[in-house]
Structure 1
Amino acid sequence: MRRGMKAAVLRDTLNMEVMEWTERTIGKEEVMLRVACCGICGTDQHIYHGHPGSAEVEPPIVLGHELAGVIEAVGENVAMLQPGDRVSVDPNIYCGSCEYCRSGRAQLCERLQAVGVTRDGGMAELCVVPAANCYKLPDHVSLMEGAMVEPLGCVLHGFKKLELRATQHVLIVGGGFIGQLFLQLVKAAGVSRITVSEPNSHKRNPLLALGAHAVVTPFDAEDAKGMINSADVVIECVGRPESVELAVAAARKGGQVLLFGVASPDARAAFSPYEVFSKELRIMGSFINPYTHEEAIALIAQGIVRIEPLISHCFRLNDLPEVMASYPQLNVTKAVIMQE
């Protein structure tokens, strides 16, 4: 059965409209979700401006890959879920048969599909998703927290690449939402010192409250000088050439550099290959969130990662065209769409 609903539809680059939209028919292995909360991700902004997401995007489409809600209907072959279940959605759909999927690297799937990227997502009243991508939420985890499981799962995938020890100094470049998630995981790992490089002075006290030992700014000459060759582990969460260059320069000999921030496809960073060679650096990338959803829910449920203090803006579905057009000027740490 196809159902009409209200959705924020990306009709073309820089063109989003709230309109009546027809949701896809529920397949035998799918469920229909009434969306309660959907996050606005930096990737949604990339797509809005005409860049690819985790896969190529073909408008018209409903964006929104960070979502949670309540199941309204289930396909005939769905046995583990039922109407009324509160669930968080892992948006990534892997083919299961390409060389990457078959070698345990599903995040590199050659035929990757994703809710809110290649098929309609959570910026709507309803969303049809594979039942296998739904994870039930504990009663004490809110649906807003459930929507934030996806970005935490992505952070967790990157975090697991790092080798952390109690003696280390960790530098996080960028104190926004992603940097704040990394900060909480690094704090829980028990490292010796955590520094966050963040130019926005309004984020200083929240970062210190989350566990940073120091907050510095890359625009201060003394702070910038002090970061050079200072950290055993550097986590880059911005995705700009200058922040990537800082990450490499800040790593000590034998250091680890995780490039997590999503850069524009045409961005280029300049650093010395000799520096990478002579410091014997490990430089790593991290892409999406393969099978980290369940663990991310547990981290929230146990209070190891706090979500609610990180949310700076809440919008309604009708706000989205204006919000997406003016997003860079809104000074957002993290924004979510809460349904009526």
Structure 2
Amino acid sequence: MRAAILEGVKQMAVRERKRPEPKPDEVVIRVKSCGICGTDQHIYHGHPGSAEVTPPIVLGHELSGVVVDAGKQVTHLKPGDRVSVDPNIYCGHCRYCRSDRAHLCQNLEAVGVTRDGGMAEYCAVPAQNCYVLPDELSFDEGALVEPLGCVWHGLSRLTLSPSYRVLIIGGGFIGQLFLQLVHHAQVASVAVVEPVAEKHALLKRLGAHHVFRPSDRADMEAWKDGADVVIECVGKKETMEWAVSAAAKGGQVLLFGVAAPDTLISLSPYAVFSKELTIKGSFINPYTHDEAIALIRQKAVEVEPLISHRFALEELPAVMEKYPDLHVSKGIIRL
């Protein structure tokens, strides 16, 4: 089989590799679609993903495909089943797993992070991590169940009210998912700050009442201390600091964008105290696959129209090298 193998920092090559065999509790899927996540770019540049990464490794934790082989202990899946994969594998015995916080597992493993993932023609995954796709969902939609599940978990960390003003910082793929969920929550208003003007029309179609650029100083000033909820989807020092300053008294700030591990931000403890702010993080997608599939199936969230680029497996080494220059909102690998 062909696989895009990360062999070291910024070193990826497409090579022939032996097709995996399933362990007793695993299935092998023929990968049909695999999303390229910002985390894949972090890993490509030598940073950790949801866990530490040891090359050589096949990346790709957003994947869907068709079951072609099943281990002898697998009874609920069979060859031919169309599935989406939840990549996260929990140990089940650490203090976090045993206190209903499995996503914080001390021994976390993940498909496409600690073990080979979906940037290959075939991938072996635990059967319990597979979710059968409804017939009406495409393989591209199946691959994007995972990031939607992460966003759904992030939203669950917040309290929304019909009277609230919500500000989303970053109108890329993740911001577009958050926007749709917030729009369906029927808040008083939702604004998105996004520097790329070409994205503004789509953001308005998805439910934004107002879209502006960081260079629009009047808007930036108007939102200082103005948002009941701020959702930061960029992961840069300046956007995270602005997220805190944009929060109103009693506001909630969700730092969802993944920053580099060495990023530090300046924070006024007095502002947190005097405005009684709640600042939260959000990590992966603890058992949210069913909800994410339902959201797509019910057309509460659109994901396919958000795909900006589709690539072939052979293109991946060049694509990963020049990814920031391609202006990808969401990239999908078609296999």
Please classify the TM superposition score into its range, dividing by the shorter chain length: over 0.9
Which position in structure 2 is the counterpart of 1:288? 284
Which position in structure 1 is the counterpart of 2:274? 278
Shift of 1:226: 1.3
How many residue pairs get aligned? The number is: 335
CA contact (8 A) 1:174 1:236 kept: yes
Which amino acid in the other structure matches residue 206 of structure 1? L
Q: Which of 124, 133, 137 is equivalent to 2:129?
A: 133
Instruction: Please say if 1:79 is aligned against 2:110.
Output: no
CA contact (8 A) 1:10 1:63 kept: yes
- Whole-angstrom distance in 2 between the partners of 1:315 and 1:333: 13
Residues 28-77 of structure 1 show CA distances to partners (whole Å, capped at 9, x for unaligned) of: 01000000000000000000000000000000000000000000010001
Instruction: Please say if 1:62 is aligned against 2:58.
Output: yes
Q: CA RMSD in A?
A: 0.6
- Whole-angstrom distance in 2 between the partners of 1:42 and 1:165: 30
Which position in structure 2 is the counterpart of 1:260? 256
- Whole-angstrom distance in 1 between the partners of 2:277 and 2:302: 32
Shift of 1:276: 0.7
Unaligned runs of 5+ in 2: none
Greater than 4 Å deviation, 4+ residue runs? none
Which position in structure 2 is the counterpart of 1:24? 20
Shift of 1:195: 0.2
Which position in structure 2 is the counterpart of 1:175? 171
* Percent of matched pairs sharing the same residue: 63
Which position in structure 2 is the counterpart of 1:110? 106
Which amino acid in the other structure matches residue 324 of structure 1? M
User: Per the alignment, in what secondary structure is the counterpart of residue 22 of structure 1?
Assistant: coil
User: Per the alignment, in what secondary structure is the counterpart of residue 238 of structure 2?
Assistant: helix
CA contact (8 A) 2:20 2:122 kept: no
User: Per the alignment, in what secondary structure is the counterpart of residue 264 of structure 1?
Assistant: coil
Instruction: Please say if 1:297 is aligned against 2:293.
Output: yes
Residues 151-209 of structure 1 show CA distances to partners (whole Å, capped at 9, x for unaligned) of: 00000000011111111100000000000000000011110100001111011000000
Question: Normalising by the residue count of structure 1, what TM-score does the alignment of the two structures yield?
Answer: 0.98
User: Per the alignment, in what secondary structure is the counterpart of residue 288 of structure 1?
Assistant: coil
Which position in structure 2 is the counterpart of 1:94? 90
Shift of 1:220: 2.1
- Whole-angstrom distance in 2 between the partners of 1:22 and 1:12: 20
User: Per the alignment, in what secondary structure is the counterpart of residue 184 of structure 1?
Assistant: helix
- Whole-angstrom distance in 2 between the partners of 1:275 and 1:111: 36
The 5-angstrom pairing of residues 7-46 of structure 1 reads 7-46=3-42
**Stretch deviating more after TM superposition (264-273 or 111-120):** 264-273
Which amino acid in the other structure matches residue 115 of structure 2? R
Unaligned runs of 5+ in 1: none
Residues 118-172 of structure 1 show CA distances to partners (whole Å, capped at 9, x for unaligned) of: 0000000000000000000110011100000000000000001111111110000
- Whole-angstrom distance in 2 between the partners of 1:308 and 1:154: 17
- Whole-angstrom distance in 1 between the partners of 2:303 and 2:54: 32
- Whole-angstrom distance in 1 between the partners of 2:17 and 2:151: 32
- Whole-angstrom distance in 1 between the partners of 2:223 and 2:230: 10
Shift of 1:219: 2.0
CA contact (8 A) 2:20 2:28 kept: no
User: Per the alignment, in what secondary structure is the counterpart of residue 318 of structure 1?
Assistant: helix
Q: Which of 211, 226, 230 is equivalent to 1:215?
A: 211
The 5-angstrom pairing of residues 191-230 of structure 1 reads 191-230=187-226
- Whole-angstrom distance in 2 between the partners of 1:327 and 1:321: 10
Shift of 1:25: 2.6
Shift of 1:221: 1.6
Which amino acid in the other structure matches residue 83 of structure 2? V
User: Per the alignment, in what secondary structure is the counterpart of residue 327 of structure 2?
Assistant: coil
CA contact (8 A) 1:87 1:146 kept: yes
- Whole-angstrom distance in 2 between the partners of 1:16 and 1:61: 9
Which amino acid in the other structure matches residue 166 of structure 2? V
Instruction: Please say if 1:142 is aligned against 2:133.
Output: no
- Whole-angstrom distance in 1 between the partners of 2:324 and 2:91: 35
Shift of 1:234: 0.3
Which amino acid in the other structure matches residue 288 of structure 1? I
- Whole-angstrom distance in 1 between the partners of 2:239 and 2:38: 16
- Whole-angstrom distance in 1 between the partners of 2:20 and 2:100: 31
Residues 2-22 of structure 1 show CA distances to partners (whole Å, capped at 9, x for unaligned) of: xxx100000100000000112
- Whole-angstrom distance in 1 between the partners of 2:111 and 2:219: 41
- Whole-angstrom distance in 2 between the partners of 1:146 and 1:179: 19
Question: Normalising by the residue count of structure 2, what TM-score does the alignment of the two structures yield?
Answer: 0.99
Which position in structure 1 is the counterpart of 2:320? 324
Shift of 1:271: 2.2
CA contact (8 A) 1:67 1:122 kept: yes
- Whole-angstrom distance in 2 between the partners of 1:25 and 1:134: 16
CA contact (8 A) 1:23 1:128 kept: no
